[in-house]
Amino acid sequence: QTGAPNAAQLLVQGVPCRDLHTKGTAPRLNGRMEYDGENNAELLALQRIDETCKQLQTQGNYLEALECMERGLVLRQHFFGADSDEVWRACKVVGEMCNLLAMTYLQQEDFAMVLELLKKAEILTERDNAGRAVTFNNLACYYRRQGKLHAALQYLQKALKIENKLDQVDNPADTYLNTCAVLSQLGRHQSALEHAQQALILLQEELSRVLGPMADGNEAPKADRIAVLAIAYHNVGVEYEFLKKFDQSLQSYRKGVEVSERFLGPDHAITVTLRNSCIAARRAIMVRDPQARLQNLESKGRKGRGGGAGTRRAKPAESQEAMMSPRPDGAAEQG
């Protein structure tokens, strides 16, 4: 028994129609159909649905496009068979759209719609392992926003298990950083540190052609990936601070600020956030460990990273902010 009939039965119910205009790259549904005399009218109707889907996506009406995709999926099941490649290709694309919309609604805090869309995506990605890993990541984001950290961790662990078996994964470090942030909130700081360090390894591999000694200078690093690299250094610093390894903590905090300032600029939201964290960590650690060796480390910090008063906090992108482990406010002062 396959999941395709269940997916079609679920989707035929549709989603309440609402106008949604959002930015982003939406998936496209391109049916490949052969016509015969008896089914010509029905197949032409499916072709018209696909064309309407494309038009709605071009206009940014993604929720209405999803409703069209749902109708098209049910028709594909009827014409091509529930277990056909045509139906599973359509399931993959509809699942991508569900994930795209779910993250949009998460930003709007429409949690009921988020869960409905992601549960659909979970069914639709039964044979799309990469899509299922994305869905599990997004479910983890949803449960974390709901304060259900154990549920979030379970979905992140499922996503990691899938991604570790795939030959190609887009941005594999991101799942490790999301897992680090949740583990940190659960007080599991050694495990959180290990996940942050694994993310750093993956990011350094990913960016080696544009940042490392092998960089040829012909390709500029992407700002969003630089931001994630800086966040990885920040998370390592946070976990070392929780573990009271203060020298390593400050070194990691500073490295995150250095990377962010160099490639994103001193006024970028991520740079401002990381600089403020570094300043706060330095103050807290000085209270806990005011030794000459720490002051020595201070003298090696980057010049011009801001005075002791800090900088007004700008807000990073939500997806990036979610990757950050929160600092142990006041924890460094405790014995």
Q: What would the pLDDT profile of 270-320 be if each residue is shown by its tens digit?
A: 999 999 999 999 888 888 766 635 554 555 554 444 444 444 444 555 667
Report the distance separating Cα 313 and Cα 215, nearest Å: 32
Structure confidence at residue 181 (pLDDT) = 96
- Write the CB contacts of 27 (distance below 8 Å, at least 6 apart in sequence): 93, 96, 97, 100
Q: Greater confidence, 211 or 52?
A: 52
The percentage of the chain sitting over the pLDDT mark of 70, rounded to a whole number, equals 75
Report the pLDDT averaged over residues 12-40. Answer: 42
Report the pLDDT averaged over residues 64-69. Answer: 88
Report the pLDDT averaged over residues 86-113. Answer: 94
Assess whether pLDDT exceeds 90 at residue 20: no
- Write the CB contacts of 294 (distance below 8 Å, at least 6 apart in sequence): 246, 247, 250, 285, 286
Q: Is the pTM of this model over 0.95?
A: no
Give the mean pLDDT of the chain.
Answer: 81
Structure confidence at residue 191 (pLDDT) = 98
- Write the CB contacts of 275 (distance below 8 Å, at least 6 apart in sequence): 257, 260, 261, 305, 306, 310, 311
Residue-wise pLDDT for 117-164, tens only, equals 999 999 999 999 999 999 999 999 999 999 999 999 999 999 999 999
Chain mean position to CA 194: 19
Structure confidence at residue 216 (pLDDT) = 62
